[in-house]
Structure 1
């Protein structure tokens, strides 16, 4: 695929919307135009280019709606939400950048306006959870909006938003006849940006609340509820399924055994640590920790993933605390508790999927592994280069599990 953005970090973030083209989230030329506007610019230029495009689409949507073109308005509002959602990822970190909140609020407003239009309008809901309800949406099956159908609960990751999940997966699921439930949990989207609620390892507690809400919906078949986690959700969803018996099928894209193990392997490889010295990253020797910290901060991509995103999402302020928190996110002692049919994906070149094979081997439930390759342009994290292929294969698998 031809490179669009000159900066590696912007290329990572700015090409996400290309995966949403089959589902109406963008067109190639629009993304290319944003990349040209960014040019050699910095985070501010990147943010301005995306939000300017989002503002233009919102204005066009307003004008279309005023003239009675409801279908065009719906499409434009939803597409604008993608462009706002893509604008602020380089700004991640605590304290929250005001520009991030501005773009995120525009994103939510555009998304809500788009979903409110059409013959079957969708309204946002709030799922009761501790002191802070979780934002959520129920996206009905296309053409079967009032029918009792299976449900897929979509579980995002470290930095995906509900808008991302909608275009990456929920549109495809709706076309296939599945109702979808999208939500922000602790450490995700509005829960993090607006409410400051951090990520937590006991994800079964989160999903229990989501399933409780799902079972109040008259259009849901309570015996056919699937849980689908993507990105870090490929760890969170299995963790939840290990303690939530009402999940009838599980998808982990990719199957992620833990957060800490990837760092553990890197430290052993780069710094010559023994397995014993790296057994608990929260107790690393300070000299090693200092070297690791300097190494991470020297790379814009690693600095973003760990310092900007990881520290913020986990609610920590230094690498030792982050590593100690990361150690809590593991399927050790939990994988064998999963009882429902489970699908694990593994994409070539995705470092988060490195342990998917051993994760698969540890499962004691009915299980399936699907691998994706560079030859299919489905390599890399979450198969974003060929998301439609991923959706077809996953939904085919789920059709077979939920066949009546």
Structure 2
């Protein structure tokens, strides 16, 4: 993996994720050069510096976008707003949960994202999914009438804006598949703005998403699938095991036993995805005390669960994933004995995409998943 900050894995992961989601290397380099020294102070200490540097880049692009918009260059403005959103969303992701101004930064992300939609991707828009007396915020990409659809879920620290920036929705659209990008409880806007925290029984979110999709006239109700990346590699298989209206499921990173990963992280085994890690985890799951959370997290696993999956099941994992052991991918595959079409795809260092969820070569994983999904949906038409 390209590591701009060799001594700082979470920061480097953020950089490579940005570059593989539409960021431009010159812009990213100009934002990162002033904070090289800050990166050496540890993953936590310099995150305010990271936010300031990347916010300055965001401000520059927004200024350019506003000028382009005044001159009637709508697509150029939309592209600038989209990159500005990408940069600010990534910088916000690395901040402490209690950092002053974090919510303001995220609200700005939402505003910039909407401007990008309006000017660059007007066919993609915001929707609200009814969920237990409130709603789950999401973006919907419509691929046509009576189209199959993929529900896309986050992991521990990403947002629906990262899903948009990844371009996976566009790969699906090119294959005639719509995409519902959802901020689940514990992620993105659902967590930051609404205070909705994660839960073990993710089938509750899946049912809400399917219920919503079944109200749309442009969706083929018999071909609704689910993909989750990172911690979504637990969320999605768990949901598919119990929400039987789903037609297929993809684990984009095999998070088979996330609870065990937390115990290893207490011992500093493996890498952590974000700075201020334990504060972030407690925020996501709505816990106050680490010892209580660690005991609770023992429930977050797929043993005895993936055996209940009865639809096609794809597992993608990088052989050099420094966060989640490759063994978990094999465990999910071996236990999914009732899936009629289970497939394990391990991405190697020789081809790329061997890091966590393939962030080092994100498009390689994205297109593989899109092709597999397209083939499965075609076989069930």
Q: Give me the TM-score of the superposition, normalised by structure 1.
A: 0.85
Distance in 2 between the 1:162 and 1:344 partners?
A: 21
1:4-403, aligned counterparts within 5 Å?
4-5=4-5, 7-8=7-8, 9-20=10-21, 25-41=22-38, 42-93=46-97, 96-118=98-120, 120-141=122-143, 146-168=144-166, 169-264=168-263, 266=264, 292=266, 295=267, 301=272, 304=275, 306-350=277-321, 351-352=323-324, 353-363=326-336, 364-365=338-339, 366-403=341-378
TM-fit CA distance, 1:262: 2.6
What secondary structure is seen at the aligned counterpart in 2 of 1:128? strand
Change (3 A) 1:49 1:176: farther
TM-fit CA distance, 1:375: 1.0
Bigger-Rg structure (1/2): 1
The CA deviation string for residues 300-319 of structure 1, in whole angstroms up to 9 with x for no partner, is: 94883741221111122332
Change (3 A) 1:51 1:118: closer
Distance in 2 between the 1:223 and 1:300 partners?
A: 40
TM-fit CA distance, 1:7: 4.8
Tell me, which stretches of 5 or more residues in structure 2 are unaligned? 39-45
Distance in 1 between the 2:88 and 2:273 partners?
A: 24
Tell me, which stretches of 5 or more residues in structure 1 are unaligned? 268-291
What secondary structure is seen at the aligned counterpart in 1 of 2:29? helix
What secondary structure is seen at the aligned counterpart in 1 of 2:180? strand
Q: Is the 8 A contact 1:314 1:325 kept in 2?
A: no
Q: Is the 8 A contact 2:6 2:12 kept in 1?
A: yes
Q: Is the 8 A contact 1:6 1:40 kept in 2?
A: no
Change (3 A) 1:358 1:6: closer
Distance in 1 between the 2:376 and 2:49 partners?
A: 47
Aligned to 2:43: none
Aligned to 2:41: none
The CA deviation string for residues 159-213 of structure 1, in whole angstroms up to 9 with x for no partner, is: 0111111122223222332211011111111111122221111100011001111
TM-fit CA distance, 1:333: 2.4
Distance in 2 between the 1:119 and 1:126 partners?
A: 19
Q: Give me the TM-score of the superposition, normalised by structure 2.
A: 0.90
Number of equivalences: 366
What secondary structure is seen at the aligned counterpart in 1 of 2:242? coil
TM-fit CA distance, 1:383: 0.4
Relative to structure 2, which stretch is displaced further, 84-93 or 187-196? 84-93
TM-fit CA distance, 1:388: 1.3
The CA deviation string for residues 6-49 of structure 1, in whole angstroms up to 9 with x for no partner, is: 650321222211111xxxx2112111111113221322221111
Distance in 1 between the 2:181 and 2:213 partners?
A: 11
Change (3 A) 1:101 1:7: farther
What secondary structure is seen at the aligned counterpart in 1 of 2:124? coil
TM-fit CA distance, 1:140: 2.2
TM-fit CA distance, 1:240: 0.6
